[in-house]
Amino acid sequence: MALEIERKFLVDMSKLPNLVDGIKIRQGYLLAHSPSIRVRVTTNKAYLTIKGKPTNNISRSEFEYEIPLQDGIELLKECKELIVSKTRYEIMHENHLWELDIFEEENKGLIVAEIELTSEDEPFALPSWVTSEVSDDMRYTNANLISHPYSKW
């Protein structure tokens, strides 16, 4: 079983380094609640991901498979309004990869940074551009943002 251990944080945009090479992502949900089943499409790749019920707010099973791009595009059409759009940037900070998501459309204004860890107690350094942790706040999950967009909070 694959285990995802992830922590999420809000971001102070004014303190971010110069962002380059962002990846446009459209992410749709075939099933939004635990387990969630999503399809993610970028410019040239597509993935099908199944995420299990969290054992706590930072750990859960995750199974991700690359699928043919055209299959991903067709599956995304099945998601209809259950789609999140964002641009993702990868930032290395003290030997850890941070994924910074700048949300678009109904979630415009929301910026979240995520770090994946190898264990729940793995130490890591917070970048200066990170503000508050929101790992425990389910409003910030992508699956929640499709039905409760940030612009309506």
Residues marked as catalytic: 29
58 closest CA partner among 130, 147, 133, 131 = 133
Q: Which residues pair with 91 in a beta bridge?
A: 98
Whether 39 and 76 have beta carbons less than 8 Å apart is answered as yes
CA distances from residue 23 to 41, 101, 106, 124, 138 in whole angstroms, order as listed: 10, 9, 19, 25, 24
Amino acid at 150: Y
